[in-house]
């Protein structure tokens, strides 16, 4: 049994209930002094904890526009606005994939709206985030293997060298990280990245993770790419190029973890997106 935590007195929160625990954090639902709910994300000291802290700084910068509000940060603990209980995947299940995609596009539009605040100085540059893909592509190239990793790395290099624009990014936008509650649909669990906004759109094409039938559907890929291209002011081929690069980056992460099943899944989606891209 997980022991009940103690939080900073200044938070004035009570009645903690453990919502979920992952390898990286414990998520508690608490009650504010006025009786309203809030969330505490209690990070564990794992190797990529800097990713989560950058995400906290990104949320602070957004200040509730398109994402949940960061109410306070105490070391590795975040006090967050309660964003809601309904996830975007629930809309997909009840209203269909196109409805869910339109909501994601609306959230994306708000996430990329201007802010008068200074951009956090610790956001991770997108080129740095792609390190695992470049490493895998180099290994394949040195082995004489013209793999999809090699092709994706070349695409990524072209995109990173000539970004359409550079903005703060959520970094992990997908159906489980978009929720609905008291205010509206909001992004949660940000990573805090700096780069081309199409990177955030790319992740959506690979989700939900358990819906391979959708993720490998050429019509769905085309609809999502067109929807996000419209919102971001980019063209469809650019969104698809970002999606190919992103999928192979994710596959490279799974390769490093020895997760063959997930690596294979991501590569199969990337291959389908590549086929759609070739027809553009």
Look at residue 189 and give its three-state secondary structure: coil
Distance linking the first and last C-alpha atoms of the chain? 54
Look at residue 193 and give its three-state secondary structure: strand
Percent of the chain as helix, strand, coil, to the nearest 5: 50, 20, 30
CA–CA dist 211, 269 (Å, integer): 11
Bridge partners (DSSP) of residue 279 are none
Q: Which residues contact 209 (CB under 8 A, 6 or more apart)?
A: 265
Q: Which of 116, 129, 103 is nearest to 231 (CA)?
A: 103
Catalytically active residues, by annotation: 172
CA–CA dist 112, 231 (Å, integer): 10
């Amino acid at each position: 049994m997980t022991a009940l935590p103690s939080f900073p007195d200044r938070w004035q929160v009570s009645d903690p209930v453990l919502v979920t625990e992952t390898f990286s954090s414990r998520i508690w639902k608490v009650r504010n002094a006025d009786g309203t709910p809030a969330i505490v994300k209690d990070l564990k000291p794992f190797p990529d904890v800097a990713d989560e802290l950058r995400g906290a700084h990104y949320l602070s910068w957004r200040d509730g526009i398109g994402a949940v509000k960061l109410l306070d940060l105490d070391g590795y603990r975040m006090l967050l606005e309660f964003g809601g209980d309904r996830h975007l995947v629930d809309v997909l299940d009840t209203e269909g994939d196109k409805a869910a995609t339109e909501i994601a596009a609306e959230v994306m539009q708000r996430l990329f709206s201007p802010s008068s605040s200074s951009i956090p100085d610790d956001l991770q540059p997108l080129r740095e985030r792609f390190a695992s893909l470049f490493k895998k592509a180099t290994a394949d190239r040195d082995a004489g293997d013209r793999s999809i990793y090699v092709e994706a790395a070349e695409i990524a290099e072209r995109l990173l060298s000539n970004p359409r624009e550079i903005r703060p990014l959520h970094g992990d936008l997908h159906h489980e990280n978009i929720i609905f509650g008291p205010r509206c649909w909001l992004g949660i669990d940000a990573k805090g990245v700096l780069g081309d906004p199409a990177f955030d759109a790319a992740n959506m094409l690979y989700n939900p993770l358990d819906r391979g039938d959708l993720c490998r559907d050429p019509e769905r890929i085309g609809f999502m790419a067109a929807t996000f291209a419209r919102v971001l002011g980019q063209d469809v081929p650019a969104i698809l190029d970002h999606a190919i690069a992103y999928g192979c980056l994710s596959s490279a992460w799974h390769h490093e973890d020895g997760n063959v099943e997930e690596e294979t899944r991501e590569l199969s989606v990337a291959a389908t997106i590549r086929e759609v891209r070739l027809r553009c």
